[in-house]
Structure 1
Amino acid sequence: MSIVIINTGFSNLYSIRSAIRRVGYTSSITNSIHDIKVADKIFLPGIGTASSAIKMLTQNHLLSFIKKTNQPILGICLGMQLLGKYSYEGKKCILLNKISSSIKKLPNKHYSVPHIGWNTVHYTNSHILFKNIDNNTRFYFLHSYYMDINPYTISTSIHGLQFCSSVAVQNFFGVQFHPEKSGCAGEQLIKNFLEI
């Protein structure tokens, strides 16, 4: 199986590749559209601003391809937010629009922002992404912006408010948390995605 991690230029690329290796698979980090087109599974990671990620994808001629691909793709953290309609991070930024939901800043009145650390992930209906993962398992988060709960939400978490912590729409999947930093549960989620 060919597995690629899109090189978005952010720092979690190698930790994702290591997590994939720990569950028994090999992967490559690339922004080559040829390599990505022939991949069986695609990871779309991201740490930073939505505008910088969209700019990078556009410069590498990947934006229109990602919008149209039928390959299974997993967005992680910012990678999940990119599936939304637009982000209010910095200047309003148009995203991939796979989910008609905006990306907004977490409230900081009673909670620290960014949201850093372990938090509970609650799913209401079992989904293949959470196979062999107990409900209300804790995953590691690091983010300041969130996606609204929407019809494609498959799990929620709470930090100041209840927000969407994972989504699934057609061949697109996304998790707001970092499975590559979430121990055994995170590795199980990565394995589940690879075996879809």
Structure 2
Amino acid sequence: MIGIVNYGAGNIFSLTAALQRVGIPYGMIDKLDDFEHYDRVIIPGVGHAGAAMQKLEETGFVQRIVSLKKPVLGICVGMQLLTSFSEEGNAELLNIVPLKTLHFDKHMGKKIPHMGWNSISPKRDCPLFEHIADNSYFYFVHSYFIEADEEYTSASCTYDVVFSAAIQKENFYGVQFHPEKSGKVGEQILLNFSRL
């Protein structure tokens, strides 16, 4: 069963609706003891990475999350929290994946935030992308991005710059897009995560 980290920085309704649509059982992680009840964990997140990290620290969840050995999925800001640092609020983050979260250059000629549908290029060896075709479209809403990296980037996307649409380090996974708002391919990501 999936536990959703409920720390006040996520759009939990859209996520729970998507999990219900595909029949994945879930519950809420509201306190430290709740981590024990679930075999997979999702960290949702919308808004400001620095503020989200502060909320996560206030819950006392940080050390427990970092030490988890079960599959963990960060979504949008939840993915950015897995990195070492964000330019959004110049915030130190969980430092699970040694990458940085950077701001899209205001002068790059594209609208910020990067909002709407965009295609991704997944790596074939990432189990999160089983049954997902190359160049499938997912729904994005973000002004900050995680740098692309040969070792930890499990899917890339281009919006003037090439960035990490998904990352993986051991049992930690992250997606910058919103699978819960990405139709059938997004539901497939959630199903794949539930089977890890």
Q: How far apart in 1 are the matches of 2:38 and 2:29?
A: 11
Task: Name structure 2 gaps, 5 residues minimum.
Answer: none
Q: How far apart in 2 are the matches of 1:180 and 1:137?
A: 15
Offset at residue 175 of structure 1 (A) = 0.2
The corresponding residue for 2:35 is 36
CA RMSD of aligned residues (A): 1.2
Q: How far apart in 2 are the matches of 1:69 and 1:9?
A: 20
Matched ranges for 1:147-186 at <5 A: 147-150=146-149, 151-186=151-186
Is 1:85 equivalent to 2:88 in the alignment? no
The corresponding residue for 1:55 is 54
Offset at residue 11 of structure 1 (A) = 4.9
For normalisation by structure 1, the TM-score amounts to 0.95
Equivalent of residue 99 in structure 1, options 97, 100, 103? 97
Matched AA of 1:105: H
Q: 1:37 to 1:53 in 2, by over 3 A?
A: farther
Residue by residue over 1:60-96, the C-alpha shift from the partner in whole angstroms, topping out at 9 and shown as x without a partner, is: 1100110111111100000111111111102x11111
Q: How far apart in 1 are the matches of 2:124 and 2:106?
A: 30
Number of positions where the alignment pairs a residue of Structure 1 with one of Structure 2: 194
Q: Does the 8 Å contact 1:17/1:26 carry over to 2? A: no
| Counterpart secondary structure, 1:79 | helix
Q: Does the 8 Å contact 2:10/2:44 carry over to 1? A: no
Task: Name structure 1 gaps, 5 residues minimum.
Answer: none
Identity of aligned residues (%): 36
Q: How far apart in 1 are the matches of 2:63 and 2:123?
A: 33
| Counterpart secondary structure, 2:139 | strand
Q: How far apart in 1 are the matches of 2:102 and 2:21?
A: 34
* Structure (1/2) with the larger strand percentage: 2
* Deviating 4+ runs (over 4 angstroms): none
| Counterpart secondary structure, 1:85 | strand
Q: How far apart in 2 are the matches of 1:143 and 1:166?
A: 14
The corresponding residue for 2:68 is 69
For normalisation by structure 2, the TM-score amounts to 0.95
| Counterpart secondary structure, 1:101 | strand
Q: How far apart in 2 are the matches of 1:171 and 1:35?
A: 19
| Counterpart secondary structure, 1:17 | helix
Q: 1:64 to 1:11 in 2, by over 3 A?
A: closer
Q: 1:124 to 1:60 in 2, by over 3 A?
A: closer
Residue by residue over 1:145-175, the C-alpha shift from the partner in whole angstroms, topping out at 9 and shown as x without a partner, is: 0101121101100112110110111110000
Matched AA of 2:165: S
Matched AA of 1:118: W
